[in-house]
Amino acid sequence: METTHAERRTLTIPEVAVALGLARSTAYELAAADRLPVPTIRAGRRLLVSRAALERVLDGGAAPHQIRVPPTPEVS
């Protein structure tokens, strides 16, 4: 049985980055520091996020973490 993109119950970190309006690298950094607003699921080398958990956060539900993106250093 093949699962289509819309039926998947998990999202990749790049997909989560798009949903949250973050750069992909920032999303990976936050996931590595356990600072994404949703828990991550490690499957081998892959990091995944529950689609339902992300939708709860985006709908205004409580997030276990707050995102704090460090400011970008100014270039002189």
Give per-residue pLDDT as tens, 8-37: 999 999 999 999 999 999 999 999 999 999
Number of compact structural domains in the chain: 1
**Residue 22, in any domain of the structure:** yes
**Residue 68, in any domain of the structure:** no
Q: Which candidate, 38, 27, 30, 26, places its Cα nearest to that of 64? A: 38
Q: Is the whole-model pTM more than 0.75?
A: no
**Residue 1, in any domain of the structure:** no
Stated length of the chain? 76
**Residue 37, in any domain of the structure:** yes
Look up the domain containing 23 and give its range.
8-58
Mean pLDDT across 44-49: 94
**Residue 39, in any domain of the structure:** yes
pLDDT band for 54, please (50, 70, 90 cuts): very high
Beta bridge partners of 50: 10
**Residue 21, in any domain of the structure:** yes
Residue with tokens 């460090």: 70
Contact 69, 22 (CB under 8 A): yes
**Residue 3, in any domain of the structure:** no
**Residue 74, in any domain of the structure:** no
Structure tokens at 41: 């699921």
